[in-house]
Amino acid sequence: MATELWLAQEVIGQKRDGQVLAAADIQRFVEGITDGSVGEGQMAAFAMAVLLKGMTVAERIALTCAMRDSGQVLQWQLPGPVVDKHSTGGVGDLVSLVLAPLLAACGCYVPMISGRGLGHTGGTLDKLESIPGYCIQPTPERLREVVAEVGCAIIGQTADLAPADKRLYAIRDVTATVESIDLITASILGKKLAAGLDVLVMDVKVGNGAFMRELSEAEALARSLVEVANGAGVRTQARVSDMNQPLARSAGNALEVEEALALLAGEVRSPRLWALTLTLAEDILLAAQRVTTRKEAQAQLQAVWTSGAALQRFSRMVAALGGPNDLQRAPWDYLPQAPVTRRIEASHSGYVSTVDTRAIGLAVIGLGGGRQQAGDAIDASVGFSQLALPGEPAGPGHVLACVHARDAASADLAEQALRRAYQLADAPVAANALILAHL
């Protein structure tokens, strides 16, 4: 025990003084986080030292691998590549719900470990929990069965996957060290790499609806994620994508599930959502060597989409994890619906020029569709649908959005927030580029 305490203090002191930590010392420190021999004060001091002094790429790789190895690391024996995608979070970002079944239909296997909403951004797990019966934490044995049989399973982090990250993140959240790129990298990748992946594609968001508003910051994080994941043995690349507008037409848990089902069935409500989903899917198919050219990837994805094969994979996944076996047939027979629905139009004519995307995400939380405190219950029925996007006409006769609320008072507040989030121009404006960098 004394050795462990001394080691923890030595590691903290070395990083405080700007020294490069040995991989073995990082490994021992993370083991101490996992078994509790490193205390909360020591974790806080370590996190602050890393935030202030930074880490080399080699240190980031060592920290990530130690996080990955702090719990169970899944091993697979499947006839195709094991792949995944991760997004840093946005508003109306339902890509995972569409991407996983698309890839499964193309012969990949997708054990997708997803998270809940954070701040103003929506969480994939919260969306899936709007489906009655859907189990987001199956046993490891059931996860293996579903991935092998269906090709994809979108679930939450279990206690056995990267447990050190859960303990360290709780400390970071209350010590103003969440922003450290070194610690963000290890936190994201520790969980993802524990899933036993061959290929990973990162979608790093930037803009007024993302956690990172500056392109330079987003590129720095994307570069770190790519360098570290590849250094840890997983073929990885990243896209930096625009989040200066909602990605989907909807924002809210059940509403986004319904839009994902519609997209898998062939209805493209948001061209940007579909374009980003296809780009990330093409990247994965190429990296996994399922195809040799981007044109071949596009043809394969188009085929499984138009044939309904991808929608079938989603439906099978839902049923295999406890949800209804005919959700795709009549989504609103199962998904919760808000009692109050209100169409909102702009007071004067024009064209949507800018959208305060973060404000829309916060308005969803205000409706009850997200958490203000960690233990808050979520109303999966509330949110916005039919969101107008930059460049589109607005004014009388044109819907700006539909608000879905639990009561009239909530709808009033959401309408006010939505109106403040939209700016109109006299002439059409071009939307920002969707993909800003590829690393």
Q: Domains of the chain: which residue ranges?
A: 2-54, 83-320, 337-425
Q: Is 237 helix (H, G, I), strand (E, B) or coil?
A: strand
Identical topology for domains 83-320 and 337-425: no
Q: Is 164 helix (H, G, I), strand (E, B) or coil?
A: helix
Annotated active-site residue in 191, 235, 249, 358: 191
Q: Dig out the tokens for 430 from the structure.
A: 């071009």
Annotated active-site residue in 120, 192, 272, 290: 192
| CB contact set of 196 (below 8 Å; sequence gap of 6+) | 73, 74, 75, 76, 82, 111
Annotated active-site residue in 86, 235, 290, 313: 86
How many CA atoms within 13 Å lie on the side-chain side of 132?
11
Our answer to whether residue 172 is catalytic in this structure is yes
Look up the CATH number of domain 2-54.
1.20.970
Annotated active-site residue in 88, 180, 187, 241: 187
Q: Dig out the tokens for 329 from the structure.
A: 């047939």
What CA–CA distance (Å, rounded) separates 336 from 160?
A: 32
Our answer to whether residue 53 is catalytic in this structure is no
Look up the CATH number of domain 337-425.
3.90.1170.30
Our answer to whether residue 96 is catalytic in this structure is no
Q: What is the pLDDT of residue 2?
A: 44
Look up the CATH number of domain 83-320.
3.40.1030.10
Annotated active-site residue in 15, 68, 85, 116: 85
Cβ atoms of residues 300 and 285 within 8 Å: yes
Annotated active-site residue in 69, 84, 93, 182: 84
Q: What is the pLDDT of residue 62?
A: 97
Nearest CA-CA partner of 256 in 361, 329, 339, 359: 361
Our answer to whether residue 70 is catalytic in this structure is no
Cα→Cα distances 168→48, 113, 203, Å: 12, 18, 24
What CA–CA distance (Å, rounded) separates 427 from 344?
A: 21
Supply angle C-alpha 33, 178, 167, rounded to 5: 25
Q: Dig out the tokens for 389 from the structure.
A: 């996007």
Cβ atoms of residues 361 and 371 within 8 Å: no
Q: What is the pLDDT of residue 4?
A: 42
Our answer to whether residue 120 is catalytic in this structure is no
Our answer to whether residue 342 is catalytic in this structure is no
DSSP 251: B
Q: Which residues of the chain have pLDDT under 70?
A: 1-6, 117-119, 122, 373-375
Q: What is the pLDDT of residue 374?
A: 60
Our answer to whether residue 86 is catalytic in this structure is yes
Annotated active-site residue in 64, 70, 87, 177: 87
Q: Dig out the tokens for 220 from the structure.
A: 């720095």
What CA–CA distance (Å, rounded) separates 332 from 326?
A: 11
Annotated active-site residue in 64, 96, 114, 124: 124
Our answer to whether residue 279 is catalytic in this structure is no
Q: Cα 163 vs. chain centroid, distance in angstroms?
A: 19
Q: What is the pLDDT of residue 176?
A: 83
